[in-house]
Amino acid sequence: MKYIDRFKAFRTPCYYYDIELLEKTLNTIVKSASKYPNFHVHYAVKANANPRILGLISSYGLGADCVSGNEVLRALQCGFPASGIVYAGVGKSDREIEAALRNDIFCFNCESLPEIEVINEIAGNLGKKAKIAIRVNPNVDAHTHAYITTGLEENKFGIYLTDLDRVIDQAMTFPNIEVIGLHFHIGSQITDLNVFKALAERVNEIQDSLEARGIVLPNVNLGGGLGIDYNSPYSEPVANFEGYFDTIAKYLRPRPGQQVHFEPGRSVVAHCGDLIARVLYVKEGKKKFAILDAGMSDLIRPALYQAYHNIENITSESNETELYDVVGPICESSDCFGKDVELKKTKRGDMVILHSAGAYGEVMASEYNLRDLPSIYYSK
Ligand code: LLP
């Protein structure tokens, strides 16, 4: 751990971003996607909306995938062109729709007929034509945590396959709506590329059946979901983008001239961010607790999804290891980062890293218990 001396000066808890690693990741994305000229990558802003991070991502020519009016505005402020912005979400408010229309974003990913009706009306009032993609719930199992699975019929997302024909036909009748594509997203933290193969094959079937009815749309968007290896932050710091894009290229059959869009979030930023904390106390009872100055208000993923983050004591000079429950200071039993975590023998003042926290970390931090938001540092 080469940065320890620098870390010692940090005010904790803090997020630390390895900008060189983010650059390496972005280079890999651009290189592996550009093999396929019809592939377009829109970074999912929800994973990390830190302006410095967004500025770097936009400078590599990626578009943005947004899920709120404020994300659209933030993306524009951080250099993403409106022509590369897609905007999704089951519950877009009138105000958000209007702001996105005024800024002429590329496409709304729409999730219901009532929403399309409202977009049609607002676009009409503004004298605009809204470009939309219809989000389809393809009923493909992402084999991931229930809270981040979205492509099954029991989820609230998208239009069911059985309703698709009716919804598309009706959407095409609205005067201020142009249906330009289909949108899919089946879940997050998908590490088995066969799941993306299954998605591509389902999309082929859906497009075949639409084509048989004379409907061919110029865009198809496969969403995000590519997972990362939370177990090996050092050995696998860049996600398998090449395997991902190659899998889609191999199994998806785009229609002639059709553009293929992606919305990766986690895989872009997870590994470049770590949460760094200090040990406040080691409490010994039936178990040993390492109580950190960071809690679920700084990183909620373990409490909310039982998510695993690799935890490392970077300052202990002990050769012995012990098992600790690593917990935060917040008045909730779920404020626990890991049970029976093997750490070097730990004492008050030691610095601990929770690895791979760059995605859905800082952006989900809160002031619960009126705690300060975490500090932020960058490698350069
Ligand atoms: N596109 C859509 C429509 C989405 O709903 C999402 C994520 C993405 C793209 C980006 O997915 P990614 O590439 O990051 O997997 N907070 C949870 C993850 C929630 C994901 C929500 N949707 C977590 O910390 O695991």
User: Tell me, what's the pLDDT at 152?
Assistant: 61
84 and 171: one domain? yes
**Percent of the chain with pLDDT strictly greater than 70:** 97
Residue range(s) defining the domain that contains residue 23? 19-269
User: Tell me, what's the pLDDT at 195?
Assistant: 96
Mean of the pLDDT values across residues 77-96? Answer: 97
> With 80 as the cut, is the pLDDT of residue 2 above it?
no
Q: Residue 139 — pLDDT band, cuts 50, 70, 90?
A: confident
Locate the ligand 1 atom nearest the alpha carbon of residue 307 and give its number.
25
Ligand 1 residue neighbourhood (C-beta within 6 Å): 44, 47, 65, 88, 148, 150, 185, 188-189, 223-226, 263-267, 301, 305, 360
Pocket test for ligand 1, best of 66, 230, 263 (most atoms within 8 A of CB): 263
Residue 313 CA to ligand 1 centre (angstroms):
29
CATH number at residue 291: 2.40.37.10
172 and 124: one domain? yes
Q: Tell me the pLDDT tens digit for each residue of 15-50.
A: 999 999 999 999 999 999 999 999 999 999 999 999
Number of independent structural domains in the chain? 2
52 and 185: one domain? yes
189 and 220: one domain? yes
User: Tell me, what's the pLDDT at 127?
Assistant: 98
52 and 180: one domain? yes
Mean of the pLDDT values across residues 152-161? Answer: 78
49 and 174: one domain? yes
> With 90 as the cut, is the pLDDT of residue 366 above it?
yes
Locate the ligand 1 atom nearest the alpha carbon of residue 301 and give its number.
24
Tell me the torsion sign for CA atoms 278, 282, 288, 292.
negative
245 and 294: one domain? no
238 and 100: one domain? yes
> With 60 as the cut, is the pLDDT of residue 1 above it?
no
What does R_g of the chain's alpha carbons equal in angstroms?
22
Other Cβ atoms less than 10 A from the Cβ of 83: the count is: 10
Kindly report the backbone phi and psi dihedral angles of residue 304, in degrees, each rounded to the nearest multiple of 5, phi listed first. -90, -40
Mean of the pLDDT values across residues 364-372? Answer: 98
265 and 276: one domain? no
CATH number at residue 136: 3.20.20.10
Residue 9 CA to ligand 1 centre (angstroms):
33
Measure the CA–CA gap between 85 and 66, rounded to whole angstroms. Answer: 7
- E strand map for the chain: 14-17, 39-44, 63-66, 85-87, 107-110, 130-137, 159-160, 177-183, 219-221, 259-262, 273-284, 288-292, 311-313, 321-327, 336-344, 351-354, 375-378
User: Tell me, what's the pLDDT at 6?
Assistant: 86
